[in-house]
Chains A and B, each alone.
Chain A
Amino acid sequence: MSTLPAEPLGSLVQPGQPDIPPPRARLRSRRLPYLLLLPALAWLAVFFVVPTITLFSTSLQTGSIYEGYTLTFSFSNYLDAWTRFWPQMLRSLLYAGSATLMAVLIAYPLAYSMAFKAGRWRNVLLILVIAPFFTSFLIRTLAWKTILADNSIVVELLNALGITDVLSLVGLTTGDRVLATPLAVITGLTYNHLPFMILPLYAALERLDIRLIEAASDLYASPFAAFRKVTLPLSMPGLVAGTLLTFIPACGDFINAELLGSMPATAMIGNAIDAQFLRVLDYPSAAALSFTLMVGVVTIVSLYVRRAGTERLL
């Protein structure tokens, strides 16, 4: 029962657990669960829930850092922020969406190989997938600056093959450069969130009974049809979980845009929030943007919870 590799994502990533009966309800110690839960819950209440409320209230204030802020319930802050920053918001959705799509395309073959074709190497592969995740992601993201530098092998190859010209037409790159273009940002986003896509997918595929695919073959399905009709639908929960865990953080990311993109052409909403908060010091606008992002996340998660139930989350 190896616990280390797949633990981070909880029951999303439980490879093949045996059938365990649910715990019998302990009716005797009524107060105990609340006591156990209290410290953690209190911490979250004070340092997560309250700040969120504070954020909301900040977003409704007017003033400046010099004069001070007063709560004026000016919902116009939101309209103001949206009109000023809609390009960043749109870009965030676009980049995050592209990164998620790329992550699916890259992660699926790997997860599939790990689940079905790896055999003895499965644990090694798991280690290789997870270990990079534990090293400073800033440093690793900066490594992409080297990989995608103007004179690097990769970029020279892309240029030689003419791929960069094609990508330029779509607006993903500019001229001969890959660095400081949308493609670089998307690549970085994909890379950073890849483990979050691989692990849930792997868990879902690993749980798949291979005999189902054999049954499909027995019933005249080609390998691709078997994949489409059996494997893909059954891996859906893992796919959905991975998508959630990729898209949402990617939306709010700003590190990739700042390190690998060029401001302001590739600025995402995260960059805008960061700038407004720490440089421009326009707290109400920053808070408004931040809260908008929060609401977006809550909405998506709520939809997911509605369909999957609260126990499946964790």
Chain B
Amino acid sequence: MAIIDRAGRSDRADLPTANRRPRRTPVGWLREHIVLIAGLLALFYLLIPNIVVVVLSFNRPEGRFNYNWNEFSVDAWTNPCAVAGMCDTLAVSLRIAVLSTLAAVVLGTLAAFALSRHRFRGRGGTNVLIFFPMATPEVVMGSALLALFVNMTIVPLGFWTILIAHIMFLLSYVIVTVKARLAVLDPRLEEAAMDLYADERTTFWRVTFPLALPGIVAAGLLAFALSFDDFIITNFNAGSEVTFPMFVWGAAQRGMPPQVNVIGTMMFVAALAAVVIGQFAGRRRRMR
């Protein structure tokens, strides 16, 4: 990659260059690096709970609640499904996440193409409408949907209402993510394709879609994570169905087993791995 990037920033980005004076005193060193230190502290603040989750997964709690360290044990790791019903809720959450992601990605991608490539009346209004589910507090959306489902008893509360609710709030995120990717897509590439004897359909499948794909994949991953982890909206519309976050919520009242931490750790590792792989795949594709 270029040494000087677009903003004129060089790799050794220490600034402001005009004010640099050698700082030999500890106070001086502190002053110069204060921002960096604060930043690192912030990062620490962000990551501490994750570290606690991981550590506590290796705990054998004293009582019903796994909040305080007692003694080291790998019991939870060797018997992850020992807790009654937890793995069932995991399966439910996974099913919902996969289905809602698929639906949201398909509908959302179509909409993203419409919004970013075409000018039509109502475009501004549609943009605002799509923004709202992201900005509205989940309590409001969840309770509103509950009110709807209760009033219109066509669909009983349960798996399907959860699915419907998830697709609803995932749409906005998918549309925003895909739109962002389409915005950076140079339209002249499509012109070049047509100039080189590709008709509209071929241009789409050979140029537009492959270039939009990273955005679509990113949207899918985001949607999956948001769906799997959702609690508030799900809780309102679940009826008698139980998803994993709902299980955790109940566990916070009834008794928190370390297996929950095990799942939490696995999710963290999986997310980390997915992001790292994504970065590497992107870099390797550029190198080849």
Q: Which residues of A contact B (CB under 8 A)?
A: 1-5, 7-11, 13-14, 16-18, 20-21, 23-26, 29-30, 32-37, 39-41, 43-44, 47-52, 54-55, 58, 106-107, 109-114, 116-120, 123, 125, 127-147, 149, 151, 191, 194-195, 206-211, 213-214, 216-218, 222-223, 226, 244-245, 248-249, 251-255, 259, 269-270, 273-274, 277-278, 283, 286-287, 290-291, 293-294, 297-298, 301, 305, 310-311, 313-314
Interface residues of B in 264-288 (CB under 8 A from A): 264, 267-268, 271-272, 274-276, 278-279, 282
- Whether the pair B18, A217 counts as a contact (CB closer than 8 A) is yes
B83: interface (CB < 8 Å) = no
Interface of A is mostly: helix
B46 in the interface, Cβ–Cβ < 8 Å? Answer: yes
Query: Given that A4-B278, A18-B184, A34-B120 are known contacts, is A211 also in contact with B8, CB under 8 Å in the complex?
Result: yes
Q: Which residues of A contact B236 (CB under 8 A)?
A: 277-278
* Docked complex Cα distance between A2 and B215 (Å): 10
In the complex, what distance in Å separates the CA atom of A9 from the CA atom of B126?
A: 17
Contacts of B41 in A (CB 8 A): 109
Does B43 lie within 8 Å of A47, measured CB to CB?
Answer: no
Q: List 10 A-B contacts (CB under 8 A).
A: A4-B275, A54-B151, A58-B151, A255-B232, A259-B252, A273-B143, A277-B143, A294-B137, A301-B132, A314-B176
| With known contacts A32-B118, A117-B13, A55–B140 Cβ distance under 8 A | yes
A-binding residues in B (CB < 8 A)? 5-9, 11-19, 35-36, 38-43, 45-50, 52-53, 56, 67-69, 107-108, 110-111, 113-120, 124-133, 135-141, 143-148, 151, 164-165, 167-168, 171-173, 175-177, 179-181, 183-188, 214-215, 218-219, 221-222, 225, 228-229, 231-232, 235-236, 244-245, 248-249, 252, 256, 260-261, 263-264, 267-268, 271-272, 274-276, 278-279, 282
Nearest CB on A from B226, distance (A): 9
